[in-house]
Structure 1
Amino acid sequence: MACQNPEINAALQPSGESTLERATVKAQQQIEELFNISLSVAVTGETGTGKSTFINAIRNLDDDDEGAAETGVTETTDKPTPYKHPTMPNVVFWDLPGIGTPNFKAKTYLKQVQFDKYDFFIIISSERFKENDIKLAKKIQKRKKLFYFVRSKIDNDIRDAEQRAQFNEEETLSKIRRNCEKNLIKIKQAKVFLISSRNIDEFDFGKLVDTLMSDLPELKHQALLQSLPVSSLAVLEQKVRMFQKAVWAAALLSGGIAAAPVPGLSLACDAGILVAFFTRCYFSFGLDEKSLDKLSERVNKPHLKSLITSPLVLGLTERSEVRLQLSALAGSALVKNLCKLVPGVGNAAAGLISFSLTFTLLQRGLKDLADTARTVLRAAGLE
């Protein structure tokens, strides 16, 4: 029997549930998974192959940034070392010592590095994959976990090849790929990606992302996708679709119908869930100042930040360095700017507006953030 309350009916429809109680539980679970699902990625390879630089690049950090993995031509990893994502601490990249090093013999390697804690492995080489790399892949394959081969420092290979007569980049890349595949012939269906950690948006990084998105379980997929640097419009659109699927849940929990706290989120109010949702989008879309500065430097277009005119983005930028607690939200300009996105809401407190208005607010806010990110990427030439 249909409920007579139009607000509750509006909330139930996108949830696919028949009661408010069940819809609330589902919404709590979805937001909890979106914000807090963990992901542990193991990155291994011999000394000097670029493991640490890759870990920094995939977290959108330079080698000299705070929290960056230590890089160098000598072995800098003598034990499994975790590096948390700067804006998503539940996503951790582990720098593992190479297999076959004096303290990590092939026979006991998986036990020493605590194999079971990782969701997948990335095996890196800057030249040819060695026998120890192949041994490790076989061990991982036997235990039925995901692993991928990354041939790093491709920009160096291209730069060297450019000095030769009749240089052709595609032919050079094809030759490197064939050599890798020949080298890994003992590994059934080996997946090899040619990567430059110095130019993360070039070569096979997009293919690696697409493959991971296809291979990983949905929840792990969500965690990785949120954490990845926005290297193209295609990556951005995947992120946007992921957040669009969660709008109804955030609206239900922040719209005054189901004012129940979400476990682990430390959000004590309706407005907190709403602002946390937009803040996660803001960082995931690469709209924070650090990400914009790095993008501007990489593409040599210093004007990118001047393209940001959205009051929502500017409000999030203003508060991005401050922990968003309830006491800071009550009369903040940010909440007022969020409410102004919906005609008729004005400066009302976010926790008092209805589900329908909150749902509309979230949709419009997400579109505003996405459109701003699209404008920046197109200006950067990352179509």
Structure 2
Amino acid sequence: MEDPNDSHPEEIPGVRENLENNDTAAAAARIQQYLERENNVPLNIAITGETGSGKSTFVNAFRGLCDDDEEGAAPTGVTETTMEVTAYPHPNYPNVTLWDLPGIGTAKFPAKKYLKLVGFEKFDFFIIISDTRFRENDVKLAQEIQKMKKKFYFVRSKIDENLHAERRKRDFIEEETLTKIREDYLYNVNMCFVYLPKNKRDTLLFVMPNINPEIIIKKKKAFQSKIKYYATLSAAVAAVPLPGLSVAVDLALLVGAVTHYVHAFGLDIPSLKRLSNRTGVPYTDLCAIIISPLAAAEITKDLLLRVMAQLAGTVALIAAEEATRWIPIIGIPVAMRLSFTTTYKVLNLLLEKLADDAQRVTAHLRTQTPVQCV
């Protein structure tokens, strides 16, 4: 469900006034601070549920790891393996931490005292993992989380096991079985799910695995909503009458933004290698269907310059910006508009190509039937 406020992009306080007063340095500083803050929003996600429901496996899968990875994976097993609250930072986003919590309802962590024992106050929201059927402890936990005015989501685990068991029935229809599971949750979870603040929801969105095309589309839209800030920062820097400064700053901005895109879409080299390891699809096969030269590559200024040179009209816009800056009276305003246009156009085009690559990788995985490690 979409938040209606998302259709009205946030305006950074003070920037409009700075620009109206020709204080472009102050405007640039405000925008830079805003972008740095937005790109490093801390997010603490608590993964909880009953013992054996698959909490640790979920933590690993969410971070793109296999259960048997030697480095960084949460331990899993047929018995309770999580005996204390354990933090697992996301490999691409160190500001995002998944906390693997002990199972609820054990002698050490009884349901009534569970949230206080695990230190509920440090978590932004909870993901409650439940397998096979909706249980009493799941309901109790959700109710207690609501009482403490925290947010939560339910995740049903081990669906593949349920479907495998149901397939033995002669009247089995997969979609009907999945519908029954959904209806069971909706019937039992008769409570409201509170929205996270937009910046935290965006952060959550960016770290989510690309499990379906819709998630990639939402990531793309979230990134598009922020492009105007990068373009405005580019325009503010263009007002400074120093040769080459605007181009240098723009390249640094683009490196940061594009690196963020690549990580969020899982197109950086470490993410693609983890994906290959987790799905069994060879890394070379994944790289073979990628088109953008920015995917599966280290994002540098030189690489971006080469890519931008291939984008129609970009080189001409940059040259025009540098030339017009020195025209008396009208030069600076024109250079600012050109700089805004160039940055806005470049980021949109690069974002489009990377989102398309992410869709290609996801579609390719759907056609493969390798052995899964989770």
| TM-score after normalising by structure 2 | 0.74
Return closer, same or farther for 1:188/1:180 CA change in 2, 3 Å cut-off.
closer
Once the two structures are superposed, residues 328-347 of structure 1 have per-residue CA deviations (whole angstroms, 9 ceiling, x without a partner) of x5xx344443454353528x
Once the two structures are superposed, residues 78-126 of structure 1 have per-residue CA deviations (whole angstroms, 9 ceiling, x without a partner) of 2111111110111111111122323223343222211111111122222
Partner amino acid for 2:190?
K
Work out whether residues 63 and 69 of structure 1, in 8 Å CA contact, stay in contact via their aligned partners in 2: yes
1:168 corresponds to: 173
Query: Does residue 337 of structure 1 match 2:312?
Result: no
Return closer, same or farther for 1:249/1:160 CA change in 2, 3 Å cut-off.
same
Report 1:220-239 matches (<5 A).
220-239=200-219
Distance 1:130 1:137 in 2: 11
Query: Does residue 356 of structure 1 match 2:341?
Result: yes
Distance 1:355 1:274 in 2: 13
Partner amino acid for 2:226?
A
2:46 corresponds to: 42
Shift, 1:298, TM fit: 3.9
Q: Provide the aligned C-alpha RMSD in A.
A: 3.4
Shift, 1:311, TM fit: 2.6
1:89 corresponds to: 94
Once the two structures are superposed, residues 22-43 of structure 1 have per-residue CA deviations (whole angstroms, 9 ceiling, x without a partner) of 7435523541243111111111
Distance 1:138 1:71 in 2: 27
Distance 1:344 1:144 in 2: 50
Q: 1:257 aligns with which of 225, 228, 238?
A: 238
Q: 2:78 aligns with which of 69, 73, 78?
A: 73
Work out whether residues 296 and 304 of structure 1, in 8 Å CA contact, stay in contact via their aligned partners in 2: no
Q: Structure 2: any 5+ residue segments left out of the alignment? A: 1-10, 241-247, 323-337, 368-374
Shift, 1:246, TM fit: 1.3
Percent identity between the two aligned chains: 44
Once the two structures are superposed, residues 54-91 of structure 1 have per-residue CA deviations (whole angstroms, 9 ceiling, x without a partner) of 11122222212332211111211121111111101111
Partner SS state of residue 48, structure 1: coil
1:111 corresponds to: 116
| TM-score after normalising by structure 1 | 0.72
Distance 2:238 2:218 in 1: 30
Partner amino acid for 1:283?
H
Report 1:286-297 matches (<5 A).
286-292=266-272, 294=275
Q: Structure 1: any 5+ residue segments left out of the alignment? A: 1-11, 192-213, 260-267
Shift, 1:157, TM fit: 0.8
Partner SS state of residue 94, structure 1: strand
Distance 1:339 1:114 in 2: 52
Q: 2:297 aligns with which of 318, 322, 326?
A: 318
Once the two structures are superposed, residues 349-368 of structure 1 have per-residue CA deviations (whole angstroms, 9 ceiling, x without a partner) of 9xx89443233222222222
Partner amino acid for 2:288?
S
Return closer, same or farther for 1:170/1:80 CA change in 2, 3 Å cut-off.
same
Shift, 1:51, TM fit: 0.3
Shift, 1:44, TM fit: 0.8
1:281 corresponds to: 261
Partner amino acid for 2:297?
E
Work out whether residues 236 and 285 of structure 1, in 8 Å CA contact, stay in contact via their aligned partners in 2: yes
Partner SS state of residue 353, structure 2: helix
